[in-house]
């Protein structure tokens, strides 16, 4: 214990046998002792270093220990400089700011290392402190936009694919045959971050890339879903900024595709199709009216690439993911308008699977059904819904395919009638009127009228009331 006591009185002339025994003991435990210099427990590190200090002070020949002692000391000294990997959050933030400063002022040097730097920073996007996440987002924003003038691109744009966890289906790295690989969509985590400060920094980064990146055209379809997600964000400031960014992108689209836009305006075909309901008020945050023509054309040209994943996320097992997906779907419907007709069959089938799964989302699902009804002709979705109401065997939803886990005849009939009611609310009366006989013939079937469920009767009464009001208005 004399090795551990700093103030212990040392014997001026220790006996020779004690010196020999201490030297032999140190020789046996030297290597394990040096390894403990990096022990995760601070008290263990302290004791091991103090023992080593006392022992080497008594050693006459340290040559045999130097090959093991110096690397241990060097490794311990270097461990003080963790940079972005340090355990202390202030060091993480300071390191990120240094990287951003280097990226902004030493472009010729930093452009060769931006992709590697972004990949190094990615794990910090999941840090428990919001301040660290904000600093990392701002640093990644600077690194990706670091200009590479020779290639006319941002030097760090290759890392965008890693940040969203994307890989082309026909690409398989050779390393994946030999090592495990986990790909994580960090942007999805930031998009749903609970801290508004983090989301604000993230969406500002997306807006900056969409507007200013030299090679933005290669990444627009990957980044646009996150910008549309910002439009539906709970924070009004974030939503307002995202709408302004989309307007800027729409104006640029009109300049770059001037001939196509002028042709649409001159022929007056935008918003003039008599079969669609363009004039009904839009839900928030589109209370001001329809987005500009350029913005709608810009979104439409890229929406089909991510509409399928949005529809799949509506059946996700996590509540937050489903809520985010339905808000995003609502934005897509507003911008796509009548072009959604191509995917109406997918959209209606998705609504049938997810309608009864989460009552908290029912209001927004009804808004989606209303928007779909505005811009889709009834003949595109009536065959699907009427077949479901009749209970045709070839269209019955499998039990495991429903969000709530139950798919009885009564529940499916109720859901189909409620969706039909929502679609009719958005459709023009003159578009629904030709299909009234077919609808009445279906819902007048004994198998429907004889159902004792109160939910079925309530949904059926709403549809019948809607049809009655429609017929009264035409007389």
Question: pLDDT digit string (tens) for 314-364?
Answer: 988 888 889 999 999 999 999 999 999 999 999 999 999 888 777 788 899
* Total tally of structural domains belonging to the chain: 2
Mean pLDDT to the nearest integer, 221-238: 93
The model's confidence at residue 450, banded by pLDDT at 50, 70 and 90, is confident
Which one, of 371, 355, 358, 372, lies nearest residue 459 by Cα?
355
Place 32 in a pLDDT band, splitting at 50, 70 and 90.
Answer: confident
Note the pLDDT of residue 20: 56
Residues 253 and 145 in one domain: no
The pLDDT, as a whole number, for residue 182 is 73
Alpha-carbon torsion (23, 25, 31, 32), positive or negative = negative
pLDDT beyond 50 at 313: yes
Query: Mean pLDDT across the stretch 208-232?
Result: 92
Boundary (domain end) residue, out of 313, 339, 365: 339
Domain span including residue 44? 22-161
Give percent of the chain above pLDDT 70.
89
- 33 and 140 in a single domain? The answer is yes
Residue 448 in any domain: the answer is no
> Does residue 171 surpass a pLDDT of 50?
yes
Q: Which of 166-180, 248-262, 343-357, 406-420 has the lowest mean pLDDT?
A: 166-180
Both tokens of 442, joined, read 């279906």
Kindly report the pTM of this predicted structure: 0.78
Q: What mean pLDDT is predicted for residues 265-272?
A: 78
What local confidence, expressed as pLDDT, does residue 78 receive?
59
35 or 437, higher pLDDT = 437
- Of 35-44, 114-123, 199-208, 235-244, least confident by mean pLDDT is 35-44
Q: What is the pLDDT of residue 133?
A: 96
Same domain, 193 and 332: yes
Q: Per-residue pLDDT averaged across 418-429, rounded? A: 92
Check whether residue 137 and residue 220 sit in a common domain: no
- On whether residue 63 sits in a domain, the answer given is yes
| 116 lies in the same domain as 253 | no
Separation between Cα atoms, residue 207 and residue 209, nearest integer Å:
5
Give the C-alpha separation, 171 to 280, whole Å. 46
Residues 148 and 236 reside in one and the same domain: no
CA separation (Å) from 285 to 193, 235, 241?
20, 11, 12
* pLDDT greater at residue 64 or residue 218: 218
Q: Check whether 304 has a pLDDT greater than 70.
A: yes
Domain boundary among 311, 339, 367: 339
Assess whether 130 and 203 both reside in one domain. no
In this prediction, residues 302-309 reach a mean pLDDT of: 90
Q: Is the pLDDT of residue 48 over 90?
A: no
Among 339, 356, 387, residue at a domain's last position: 339
Task: Report the pLDDT value the prediction gives residue 368, as an integer from 0 to 100.
Answer: 94
Same domain assignment for residues 103 and 219: no
Q: Which tokens hold the place of 398?
A: 């499998």
Task: Answer yes or no: is 453 within a domain.
Answer: no
In a domain, residue 83? The reply is yes
CATH number at residue 107: 1.25.10
Mean pLDDT of the chain, nearest integer: 84
pLDDT score of 125: 94
Has residue 416 been placed in a domain?
no
Report if residue 376 sits inside a domain: no
Specify whether 155 is located in the same domain as 205.
no
Do 148 and 225 fall within a single domain? no
Q: Is residue 26 part of a domain?
A: yes
Is there a domain that residue 105 lies in? yes
Q: Let me know whether 203 and 80 are in one domain.
A: no
Closest CA to 209 of 230, 189, 192: 230
Question: Which of 471, 393, 467 is CA-nearest to residue 425?
Answer: 467
Q: Percent of the chain at pLDDT above 90? A: 40
Note whether 27 and 115 are same-domain residues: yes
41 alpha carbon, distance to own chain's centre: 37
């Amino acid at each position: 214990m004399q090795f551990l006591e700093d103030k212990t009185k040392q014997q001026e002339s220790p006996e020779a046998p004690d010196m020999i025994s201490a030297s032999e003991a140190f020789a046996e435990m030297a290597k394990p002792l040096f390894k403990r210099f990096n022990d995760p427990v601070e008290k263990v590190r302290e004791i091991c270093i103090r023992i080593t200090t006392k022992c080497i002070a008594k050693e006459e020949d340290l040559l045999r220990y130097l090959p093991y002692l110096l690397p241990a000391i060097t490794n311990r000294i270097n461990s003080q400089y963790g940079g972005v990997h340090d355990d202390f959050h202030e060091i993480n933030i300071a390191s990120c700011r240094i990287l951003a400063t280097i990226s902004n002022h030493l472009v010729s040097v930093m452009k060769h290392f931006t992709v590697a730097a972004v990949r190094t920073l990615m794990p910090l996007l999941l840090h428990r402190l919001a301040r660290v996440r904000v600093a990392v987002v701002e640093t990644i924003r600077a690194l990706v936009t670091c200009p590479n003038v020779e290639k006319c691109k941002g030097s760090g744009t290759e890392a965008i694919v890693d940040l969203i966890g994307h890989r082309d289906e026909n690409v398989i790295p050779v390393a994946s045959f030999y090592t495990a690989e986990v790909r994580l969509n960090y942007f999805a985590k930031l998009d749903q971050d609970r801290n508004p400060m983090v989301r604000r920094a993230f969406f500002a980064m997306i807006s900056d890339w969409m507007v200013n990146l030299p090679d933005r055209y290669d990444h627009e379809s990957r980044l646009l879903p996150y910008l549309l997600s910002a439009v539906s964000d709970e924070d009004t400031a974030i939503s307002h900024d995202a709408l302004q960014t989309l307007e800027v992108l729409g104006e640029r689209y009109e300049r770059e595709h001037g001939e196509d836009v002028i042709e649409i305006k001159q022929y007056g075909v935008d918003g003039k199709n008599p079969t669609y309901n363009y004039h009904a008020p839009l839900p928030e945050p589109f209370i001001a009216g329809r987005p500009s023509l350029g913005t709608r054309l810009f979104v439409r040209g890229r929406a089909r690439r991510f509409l399928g994943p949005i529809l799949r996320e509506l059946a996700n097992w996590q509540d937050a993911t489903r809520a985010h997906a339905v808000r995003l779907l609502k934005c897509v419907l507003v911008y796509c308008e009548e072009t959604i007709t191509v995917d109406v069959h997918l959209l209606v089938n998705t609504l049938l699977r997810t309608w009864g799964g989460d009552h908290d989302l029912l209001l927004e699902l009804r808004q989606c059904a209303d928007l779909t009804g505005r811009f889709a002709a009834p003949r595109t979705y009536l065959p699907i819904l009427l077949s479901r109401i009749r209970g045709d065997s070839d269209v019955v939803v499998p039990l495991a395919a429903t969000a709530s886990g139950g798919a009885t005849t009564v529940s499916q009939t109720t859901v189909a009638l409620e969706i039909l009611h929502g679609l009719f609310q958005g459709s023009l009366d003159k578009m629904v009127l030709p299909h009234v006989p077919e609808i009445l013939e279906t819902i007048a079937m004994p198998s429907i009228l004889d159902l004792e469920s109160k939910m079925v009767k309530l949904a059926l009464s709403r549809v019948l009331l809607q049809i009655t009001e429609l017929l009264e208005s035409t007389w």
